[in-house]
Amino acid sequence: MPQELRGAQDDFTGAEPLYAFNRRIVDATADIAAAYKPQIAFYSALGAEDQLVASIRYIRERAPAALVILDAKRGDIGNTAEAYAREAFDRYGADAVTVNPYMGEDSVRPFLARPDRAAILLCRTSNPGAEDFQDLLVDGLPLYRRVAERAAAHWNTHGNLMLVVGATYPREMADLRNGASRRPVFGARHRRTGRRSRCDSGSRPGRTRRGTIDQLLAQHHLRRRRRGRSDP
């Protein structure tokens, strides 16, 4: 956050710093952004959940075609997962939420129960410690591949499940795209540059209340072409 906004009010009357900062970002990107992904920890650590609510409301006003992804990486037993799902979808009104699949199917199902909302499952992440567990072999395949296979075969009933795959692992990403599943790979990010790779949609794209993921990305690229931009 810019130094001038820390602990200070912005030009927006009554705006708090996080909200004011987010408004600047949304105003600058509303016509080109396919999605916004606020990380909940930075709000809850400051007791600033109200600023997250206000920020998402502002996204809806300024960029109604964009998805809102709540980056929460939730994962817990069934009834707790249900509460986390209500938090993401009812309290914050997110279209999708990042989910940790380590505890298995019952910890993921509540996030997939609503056909018009999506779960984005951690699969092959880009952090340095990812290989500690994700590369362990399970019946001859690395664990992240088993996660992808299980998700595709058993969890994606509504076609609203996606995977997070780090762009620092292009070979693994190619494996997942070409043979592991039939669902979108979303949120691939280079951990050093922060640049996203292309989003790849499977043959059963998830559907949110703003339409299919394929349609959203198509609209996004069309807007960029109209502005004379060719980069993804």
As annotated, the active-site residues are 73
Report the alpha-carbon distance of residue 46 to residue 164 in Å, rounded.
27
Report whether 33 contacts 66 (CB < 8 A): yes
Distances (CA, A) of 122 to 49, 137, 161, 228: 24, 17, 11, 34
> 124 - beta bridge partners?
165
Report whether 125 contacts 98 (CB < 8 A): no
Report the alpha-carbon distance of residue 182 to residue 202 in Å, rounded.
5
Residue 226 backbone class (left: φ over 0; alpha: ψ -120 to 50; beta: rest): alpha
